[in-house]
Structure 1
């Protein structure tokens, strides 16, 4: 056997040159063919123990296998005891009642009560063992997602609706900054800062209004909320309420454009000497990422003012970067304002973005303006997100709410009717111009109170030519009317003139009552926004047959009817000018069913209407009354009285009967008085006047 091994070694030695890879093999004389025990492999970190005689041999250096994936099994479902008072949690979509039983009752051994109104599911999973306190807080956080709260009172854990706690339920009450698990109130006694000063410092940390209160009696800060919320705020209070803050000045600056961490680094570089020092003379700069702000603390107000001045200089918006802004419309319609902005800010050389179809009840208005500087900025933004122009265009073509143009160019204005807001995509400089225009056109709309009195005047011999002729011929009014020069447009027929601003329609009606019968048909008052139409209807709705469908095979038929308004119909659309004049678009209609119509079935289904309508436009001063009239209607009737039973007897019936002919003519006059209401005080004053008039009515 040794001879064979020797022959193989000689052959291998002859196959390679002096410098070949096989030259590293030992010569046959140096090969030790005796049996050897395997050498001990050293653990990782000891290093190889290589002796000169081991050169050229292959050595094994095993790793500790700590880089391999952790194949530990996940926690089994439910809650398991991990020892030392800790638990592993794996609860998936359990009902609140089931989760309360598992966590509060079985695991923690607490007596508990669950409000039946509380509904929802709980999912909890821990990456490691949790203490009983951490388990309770995790359960409380899950309840908060279901609008529920955990309260511990008298040794009983209660799961109740969160709204009950917000409505006044106190829950647990703790002193000296202690925090009991569950919803409650924690009181912190301040020792170095006054409560008002602490409230100013904590203003930006308070997430819910009313959750933190200050009490000068006892120098207390009262914190209300869940255990985790109270613990966070208690930690903030205690971090401020230290002795060194007694002579320190602190300020919180909320950034509008920059990032808090970047701003803190810049301030530390500016105040490097002061920031590097320690103790009471150091300037402390603390970034607050959640608020995107910076807290500056120093031992003098001058240092804080210097830091705030630098923050103001550095926190400037870029005039070229494109951002998204949301404007909440205060008074008008977001859709209407977006259309105005679109037509105002579209460049003549640019093209407006083509708006694709959107979901029902949604309306989108967009406009784009190509600008080279905006293009360069937005390209860099796309580069940061990893999107190319080609990818952006392809994504845009597949989204119905985007335009077909590239998203990285131009101004875009989109109206959201759901919450009456406008989304604007523009640079800071462009947005300032748009915002300036928006604030001017989004002004409170002026309201106009339209006081109307509709009266029907019976025309007798004194009024046979109408009310207008009676006033002119008899000089009625004693200078009440402002003059013939203020008549309406010639196209407005009949009685048309103005009354003085201090005149009352009652004076005219009293003058007419002295010579004839006057009946007030209606006296409505309506409040309407300018450029909106107010409609006043006084009358009835008359059914009119519009269609008859005959069924085949029987004599039944189906009739379709529509209702037509009759009576007095007045439409008023006011517009207020800058000088206080009110321009009113008037539409007046008087319609009724012709007398005698409806004597037969056909006439009842298809009555004849008498209609008189006028339309015009007039400009009057505030609180000035305009009188509309000239709508004269006449009715004639023949009445025959006979002795019962003799009407059908020839000749005798005519001799014993009497026929009376009567004619009745009436004229409808309308008083319209507009009053401009610009603010809430004027509206309140008008309401008080109306209530005063209502008290004068005799309800007996």
Structure 2
């Protein structure tokens, strides 16, 4: 059948009714058997593990039930004789059809018909052996979880889809049955609710003596751990509750509860700490006392006012290392991204372990520094030993502080951890050919018309180019009109037209061009005349290099730190060095404009000069006297001016980003390429 399972049919060695009276450590019948697949894919015959003593099966000493399930809370199903037989079931990731057929045909030896439409995969385990009645009920619970039902008629079982129900297929579901000895299923469900997670569910079968849980393997292992703690002889005929704690320690809360209820002379009440779960087990003779103890726990489960705790804050919008530096300066302990300790205090280590339901930082133990001295330090609000560190892998902040101090720090984190402002930089780099009309440059053209030009120097407060030049502020349509006007008089070439988005107070850099090898140093041996010349080569960026750093204030004004360079390679004519010359035009400027306003930076004029030599043919080439028949001249072949048009657009939300993106897309579709 190709299905991996463990199923055992064991025969009781002693009367089951007598086992309850012997206590949990009695050598009662609770067998263990292991089965596996044979080479042909079928289950191997069951093998018994018997101890040498009396030939009895090896017993489960700490957890299980010896009460016949058919005799508790209901009648035995028709066609099933519950004679005390027990089964251990263990199926891992099998199809529902294989699970049902294996249990009925190979274990229960009953006839079953399964509809072909039943789909899905399940994992089913019994924590301890269960009776045949409980096995049937377990199958019903599993089928109910996958949208199917089990019916029986004339000794034949049939599995079919529930009428009007949608079968849950395609997923893998895990089931586990827990046979209870001293507590009933409803009590167990109430205790497990505190440890329940989303997606897990519980139900009772076999008259409330077997609890069936559905969920992940982690949830089911947690349930089994809790039930092993609760299903003991001391719980018989008693009310109880297992309450997990979030802040306080289990031992301290249990001690405080016992002290309070002892003073009230509450007979039969006891609070026991469960350290490995950080929970308190409440025992009493009535539910009233248990409920009162729960109310007290809600008040006692608080961290001490002076107790330092490890708090992890996941940063959403900024780098955790940046926030760590800001917070460290805020509490007066300097910068850096490591943990800090207030001055004059000793350092010790606090570790945050992943307990039940907890999580570790980056899959490891988080270690931070905490002050152990009681002296007063220079921390936040006079608190000593505040430690702040960043975990770059999860972009989280780890803060060790008292609850009061952490509340202040958390408020500051929330104010700082906001969505950063973004700035769209639309830049156009133009090269204007200067002809007779523009022989004095574009600046002269602006000043000669009706335009109000803004001339600045390095001391200006709003626009201040560091290199000699000029600046002009236009609205976006006006700047385009200037370009159109220049095109009517001369040739205007667009060198680059980038559009890039950058975070506030961050630098955006655009490079379009090549890297050129430049010889920076030459060396040759002075002792060996045959030694070669060794050159040091440095790669130099050439082409268009634009660097912009925006800073946005609360009024929407944008300060731009602009660095622009246009460079190309020309032949070296001033020396004999075999290395090219980089000809460049650069501007560095700081401007302040309103968002959406376009600025023009210019004034960088370049002239290409040509050297010509003419003369009388033949005679001009005669040595010495040839210069008398030669004429040398230098003339400007081409004069150009570089203009930089920049338009910053502030984006404060994701809707702004979407609308501006749509605007750029519409512009590109509406404007034909030239």
TM-aligned CA deviation for residue 568 of structure 1: 2.9
Tell me how far apart the structure 1 counterparts of residues 253 and 40 of structure 2 sit (CA, whole Å): 45
Look at both structures and tell me which one has the larger radius of gyration over its CA atoms.
1
Matched ranges for 1:271-286 at <5 A: none
Match of 2:569 among 593, 597, 605: 593
Contact residue 429 and residue 643 of structure 2 kept, 8 A: yes
Task: Give 1:629's aligned residue.
Answer: 602
Matched ranges for 1:6-155 at <5 A: 84=11, 107=44, 134=88, 136=90, 140=92, 149=93, 153-154=97-98
- Give the TM-score taking structure 2 as reference length: 0.56
SS of structure 2 residue aligned to 1:489: strand
Matched ranges for 1:348-363 at <5 A: none
CA shift in 2, pair 1:133/1:464, >3 Å: farther
Q: CA RMSD in A?
A: 6.3
Structure 2's unaligned 5+ residue stretches are 1-5, 13-29, 48-57, 65-84, 103-118, 125-134, 150-190, 203-211, 227-241, 268-273, 283-289, 352-365, 375-383
SS of structure 1 residue aligned to 2:489: coil
TM-aligned CA deviation for residue 431 of structure 1: 1.3
CA shift in 2, pair 1:103/1:411, >3 Å: farther
Task: Give 1:336's aligned residue.
Answer: 322
Matched ranges for 1:320-331 at <5 A: 320-331=306-317
Contact residue 334 and residue 416 of structure 1 kept, 8 A: yes
Contact residue 370 and residue 386 of structure 2 kept, 8 A: no
What is the CA deviation profile of residues 55-82 of structure 1, one whole-angstrom value per residue up to 9, with x for unaligned ones? xxxxxxxxxxxxxxxxxxxxxxxx9999
Task: Give 1:663's aligned residue.
Answer: 637
What is the CA deviation profile of residues 420-461 of structure 1, one whole-angstrom value per residue up to 9, with x for unaligned ones? 222222111111122122222222221111111111111111
TM-aligned CA deviation for residue 524 of structure 1: 0.3
Larger relative CO (CA 8 A, sep 6+): 1 or 2? 2
Match of 2:121 among 152, 167, 171: 171
SS of structure 1 residue aligned to 2:605: strand
CA shift in 2, pair 1:438/1:103, >3 Å: farther
Tell me how far apart the structure 2 counterparts of residues 495 and 586 of structure 1 sit (CA, whole Å): 14
Contact residue 531 and residue 573 of structure 1 kept, 8 A: yes
CA shift in 2, pair 1:656/1:531, >3 Å: closer
Tell me how far apart the structure 1 counterparts of residues 248 and 258 of structure 2 sit (CA, whole Å): 15
CA shift in 2, pair 1:661/1:554, >3 Å: same
What is the CA deviation profile of residues 126-160 of structure 1, one whole-angstrom value per residue up to 9, with x for unaligned ones? 985999965726xx5xxxxxxxx455643699xxx
Contact residue 335 and residue 365 of structure 1 kept, 8 A: no
Task: Give 2:237's aligned residue.
Answer: none
Match of 1:411 among 380, 386, 395: 386
CA shift in 2, pair 1:426/1:541, >3 Å: same
Tell me how far apart the structure 2 counterparts of residues 186 and 212 of structure 1 sit (CA, whole Å): 13
What is the CA deviation profile of residues 449-476 of structure 1, one whole-angstrom value per residue up to 9, with x for unaligned ones? 1111111111111111111110110225
Contact residue 546 and residue 559 of structure 1 kept, 8 A: yes
Match of 2:497 among 517, 523, 531: 523
Tell me how far apart the structure 2 counterparts of residues 699 and 104 of structure 1 sit (CA, whole Å): 70
Contact residue 465 and residue 587 of structure 2 kept, 8 A: no
TM-aligned CA deviation for residue 526 of structure 1: 1.0
Tell me how far apart the structure 1 counterparts of residues 532 and 86 of structure 2 sit (CA, whole Å): 81
1:606 aligns with 2:579: yes
Structure 1's unaligned 5+ residue stretches are 1-78, 92-98, 111-125, 141-148, 158-168, 190-200, 214-221, 237-251, 278-286, 296-303, 356-362, 383-399
What is the CA deviation profile of residues 88-123 of structure 1, one whole-angstrom value per residue up to 9, with x for unaligned ones? 6899xxxxxxx866998665679xxxxxxxxxxxxx
Task: Give 1:684's aligned residue.
Answer: 658
1:696 aligns with 2:670: yes
Tell me how far apart the structure 2 counterparts of residues 509 and 615 of structure 1 sit (CA, whole Å): 22
SS of structure 2 residue aligned to 1:514: helix
What is the CA deviation profile of residues 347-400 of structure 1, one whole-angstrom value per residue up to 9, with x for unaligned ones? 7xxxx89x9xxxxxxx623122569xx99xx99x99xxxxxxxxxxxxxxxxx9
Task: Give 1:367's aligned residue.
Answer: 341
Contact residue 342 and residue 367 of structure 1 kept, 8 A: no
